[in-house]
Structure 1
Amino acid sequence: MRDRQVSRGTRRAREFEAFVAGAAGRLLHAATLLTAEAPNANPRARRLLTLALAHTYARWDRLHGEDPYDCARQYLATRFARAIWHQYVHQYVAFGRARPDPRSPLAALTPQERLILVLRLYEGVAEEQAAALLGLPTERIHTMCDRATANLLHPARPTAPRTAGPKVAPS
């Protein structure tokens, strides 16, 4: 009996290690896109990845044919969405934290736009699935994805500084 449990635990660990070896890079990239951090300085993305992988490992034996990548991606997205909400609610407490890297093309988007764009375009999640995952109407997902895409393709130009009239030298 004990040998069977050890064998099952060893097999579980090997399966999970193989999953992490294949999926962690893509999940980290998705998390980095969500947080809009620099790829080489992404502590928030790494934390999201760690939490998603820990959650997936905890559910590993109960997946029963479910895609572990889908499970990890769902947790990553919902955890990020929850962080967005808490940041919004406690904006003055969290002020100064979680700022995107200004060099990231996604930095100009709102966190919710980034989330929807990453799910739809990078991860290939269908509108209906994204809507169900985030608890939003499908039309809202469609509209936000279109707006985020338009903002990426045609970013707003910075306004030119106002110039005062010509300076007159005092006489």
Structure 2
Amino acid sequence: MRERSTSRGARRDREFEAFVAGAAGRLLQTATLLTAEPPDDNPGARRLLTGALARTYASWDRLRDEDPYDRTRRNLATRFARGTWSRYGALGRWRRDPGGVLAGLSPPERLVLVLRLHEGLAEEQTAALLGLSAERVRALCMRAATTLLRPPSGPARVAPVAGVSPS
């Protein structure tokens, strides 16, 4: 009996390791976008992903026909939402994290934009995952996209060209 349990545990570990080998890169990229950290310096994203993977591993035997990537992505999103929204409020104050591409967005905007555009979730799936209405998800996504695509408000800076003096 003990040998059977040991072999089952070893099989579980191999399956999980294979999952992590295939999915960790994309999940880390998703976590990095959520935390708005630079890709080469992302300790918050790594902590977020580690927690989500640990939760997935803990429930590995109960997944049955459920997609482990989907489960881990849900864990990642809910951990991010709980951590940032409880810290800053769903619409309250938030700080801009320097460096990341999405640093100019609020945490809810980042979360919705990443789930919708980077992860490819439908509006209804995103709304169900976050416990928001589809209209709220649509509004957050549109506001985030507008913020990212808005041209700079000040005059454009021209980089000097070597050997050419500005006139």
Are 1:63 and 2:63 counterparts? yes
Identity of aligned residues (%): 64
One-letter identity of the residue aligned with 2:115: L
Please say if 1:148 is aligned against 2:144.
yes
- Give the CA deviation at 1:146: 1.2
Q: Determine the structure 1 residue equivalent to 2:120.
A: 124
Q: How does 1:92-171 map to 2 (within 5 A)?
A: 99-101=96-98, 103-158=99-154
d(CA) in 2 for partners of 1:86, 1:156: 31
Question: Which whole-Å CA distance do the structure 1 matches of 2:85 and 2:97 have between them?
Answer: 16
Partner-residue secondary structure (3-state), 1:117: helix
Alignment of 1:4-43 (within 5 A): 4-43=4-43
Q: Which amino acid in structure 2 is aligned with residue 51 of structure 1? A: G
- 1:154 deviation in Å? 1.4
For 2:13, the aligned partner's letter is A
Equivalent residue of 1:46, what SS? helix
* Conservation of the 8 A alpha-carbon contact between 2:30 and 2:114: yes
TM normalised by structure 2 equals 0.86
Alignment of 1:43-58 (within 5 A): 43-58=43-58
CA contact (8 A) 2:31 2:48 kept: yes
Give the Cα–Cα distance (whole angstroms) in 2 for the partners of residues 9 and 67 of structure 1: 20
TM-score, length basis structure 1 = 0.84
Report the CA distance between 1:84 and its aligned residue: 1.5
CA RMSD of aligned residues (A): 2.0
Aligned residue pairs total 153
Give every structure 1 segment of 4 or more consecutive aligned residues whose post-TM-superposition deviation is greater than 6 Å: none
1:148, 1:129 → 2: CA distance?
18
Q: Distance between the aligned counterparts of 2:152 and 2:67, measured in 1?
A: 39
